[in-house]
Amino acid sequence: RQHSIIWRSILIEQIKKKIIRKRYTGRKKSAESGNDYAQEALARIYETGRLVPKDLYQAKAWYEKAAFSGSDSAILKMVDIYFDGIGCEKDPITFYPWLLIAETKIHPQSPTGQTIAERKKKMQEQLSPSQIEKAEEKFRVLAEKVKK
């Protein structure tokens, strides 16, 4: 009897793994075809280590693809990624352009819009004029890549 319980447990684990692989494969195919929702879901999978081993570099790459596809929440995530250094170095020169992109997409009176404005003000105080100029040039390049 105990032997059959062990085999049943093994079988259940194998079925779970198969379902997980199928879910991951489906999301990855959809993400690769340009679905921003799937790109963001795949990024979260890599960020959390759910379904696959945790990989912050891959998470960042998929969030970026979703952001370029026009996902507002992925754009906000890119702000956090460069602010916190998730899957990359903390980089104010790259953080600031994503912040500017988010500013163009998020209503300024919303709580998120107010947070963006506060972060922008702090960054303007911390960056030199030449750094701001460099970041604004980067913003123009990134903004052209982001779908409206």
> How many CA atoms within 13 Å lie on the side-chain side of 123?
26
pLDDT of 16-40, one tens digit each?
Answer: 777 777 777 888 898 999 999 999 9
Rounded to two decimals, the pTM is 0.79
| Listed residue (134, 61, 129, 130) closest to 95, CA to CA | 134
> How many CA atoms within 13 Å lie on the side-chain side of 84?
10
Q: Could you give the angle at which helices 36-48 and 2-32 cross, rounded to 10 degrees?
A: 130
The reported pLDDT for the residue numbered 51 is 79
